[in-house]
């Protein structure tokens, strides 16, 4: 089976393009983003219009704010359920540096993604 990529910030920009290119190469991808509208557009409009029909099952998604322990746990569980595990993490989220809530990123989340 192909490697499984878990991508944060996959609703736009580099994360979204990375997801698309990995899918076109035949990898399996779990997309996450805290912006549900971006994620929905990426996963229900953009990717289905580009990814060949026989690879449409190669991606799944879940809304996930990396600062929210419950959402992180849920997304990881859903990825493991769908694809049997995670091989590679692509951390591609972005927000204005001065407003990033570093204090809100729990040790739990940092542990998972370190």
Ligand X SMILES: NC(=O)c1ccc[n+]([C@@H]2O[C@H](COP(=O)([O-])OP(=O)(O)OC[C@H]3O[C@@H](n4cnc5c(N)ncnc54)[C@H](O)[C@@H]3O)[C@@H](O)[C@H]2O)c1
- Which residues 6+ apart lie within 8 Å of 77 measured at CB? none
Q: How far apart are CA 3 and CA 9, in angstroms?
A: 19
Task: Return the range that interacts with ligand X (CB under 6 A); candidates 10-18, 22-30, 46-54, 82-90.
Answer: 10-18
**Contact code string over 56-85 relative to ligand X, x by CB under 6 A:** --------xxxx------------------
Q: How far apart are CA 59 and CA 44, in angstroms?
A: 11
- Closest-by-Cβ residue to ligand X is 13
* CB-CB contact of 30 with 4 (8 Å): yes
The residue from 45, 50, 95, 110 that contacts ligand X (CB under 6 A) is 95
Task: Return the range that interacts with ligand X (CB under 6 A); candidates 4-12, 20-28, 46-54, 79-87.
Answer: 4-12
Q: Please name the residue ranges forming H helices in 34-84.
A: 36-41, 47-50, 69-83
Asked if 109 is part of the footprint of ligand X (rule: CB under 6 A), the reply reads no
Asked if 11 is part of the footprint of ligand X (rule: CB under 6 A), the reply reads yes
Q: How far apart are CA 42 and CA 37, in angstroms?
A: 9
- By CB under 6 A, name the binding residues for ligand X: 8-9, 11-15, 33-35, 38, 64-67, 92-95
């Amino acid at each position: 089976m192909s490697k499984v990529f878990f991508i944060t910030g996959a609703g736009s920009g580099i994360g979204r393009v990375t997801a698309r290119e990995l899918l076109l190469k035949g990898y399996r991808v779990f997309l996450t983003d805290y912006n549900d509208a971006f994620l929905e557009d990426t996963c229900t409009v953009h990717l289905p219009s580009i990814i060949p029909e026989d690879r449409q099952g190669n991606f799944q998604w879940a809304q996930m704010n990396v600062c929210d322990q419950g959402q992180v746990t849920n997304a990881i569980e859903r990825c493991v359920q769908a694809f049997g595990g995670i091989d590679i993490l692509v951390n591609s989220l972005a927000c204005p540096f001065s407003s990033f809530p570093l204090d809100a990123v729990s040790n739990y989340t940092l542990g998972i993604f370190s």
